[in-house]
């Protein structure tokens, strides 16, 4: 936990002094973590923090696991073009929101 109060508020998500391999996509890094994404632990603030924190946070943290979990649990997914998951292009495209440079193309297959 860093910068609870005082000092400039900066995004620390890519800070290698706080994160091991910060640019690697490793969701498993959160398995043993008790970091709070609701604006308390400043090393991870996907919804912002303070007075202008995202008002959609309570909706998003409930809906995203349900929507994503449903898609994963009820369908098989195949990447278009026979790409192996490990070879998926994960580069980002800068914009108002951070999007994938190459769109994710996947076909749902009924179980
Ligand atoms: C994963 C989903 C979402 C993420 C990561 C996200 C992230 C953010 C971030 C980073 C901000 C800027 C906070 C700041 O300035 O400190 C923001 C603002 C905002 N978000 Fe979200 N958001 C999400 C979902 C939603 C949803 C579902 C809604 C509405 C139903 C929503 C409505 C808003 C609004 C209205 C603001 C502007 C708040 C203000 O400027 O006072 N967001 N969001």
- List the chain pLDDT tens, one digit each, 111 residues: 444 444 455 667 889 999 999 988 899 999 989 999 999 998 899 999 999 999 999 999 999 999 999 999 999 999 999 999 999 998 989 898 889 999 999 999 999
Q: Rounded CA gap, 90 and 104, in Å?
A: 9
Torsion over CA: 50, 36, 21, 98 (sign): negative
Mutate-to-test residue for ligand 1 from 51, 54, 96, highest number of ligand atoms within 8 A of CB? 54
What interface predicted TM-score (ipTM) does this complex get? 0.97
| Position in ligand 1 atom list of the atom nearest CA 64 | 1
Q: What share of the chain is helix, strand, coil (3-state, %, to 5)?
A: 30, 15, 60
Pocket of ligand 1 (CB under 6 A): 46-49, 52-56, 59-60, 64
Q: Rounded CA gap, 87 and 85, in Å?
A: 5
Write down the pTM of the prediction: 0.81
Which whole-number Å values give the CA distances from 33 to 1, 18, 27, 28, 53, in the listed order? 11, 13, 11, 9, 22
Distance 86 CA to ligand 1 centre (A): 30
Which whole-number Å values give the CA distances from 43 to 1, 12, 16, 22, 47, in the listed order? 7, 5, 11, 11, 12
């Amino acid at each position: 936990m860093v910068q609870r109060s005082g000092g400039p508020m900066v995004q620390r998500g890519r800070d290698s002094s706080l994160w091991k391999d910060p640019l690697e996509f490793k969701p498993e890094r959160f398995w043993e973590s008790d970091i709070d994404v609701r604006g308390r632990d400043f090393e991870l603030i996907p919804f912002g923090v303070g007075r202008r924190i995202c008002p959609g946070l309570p909706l998003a943290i409930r809906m995203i696991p349900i929507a994503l979990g449903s898609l994963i649990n009820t369908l098989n997914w195949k990447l278009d073009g026979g790409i192996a998951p490990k070879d998926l292009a994960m580069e980002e495209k800068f914009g108002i929101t951070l999007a994938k440079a190459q769109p994710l193309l996947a076909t749902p297959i009924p179980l």
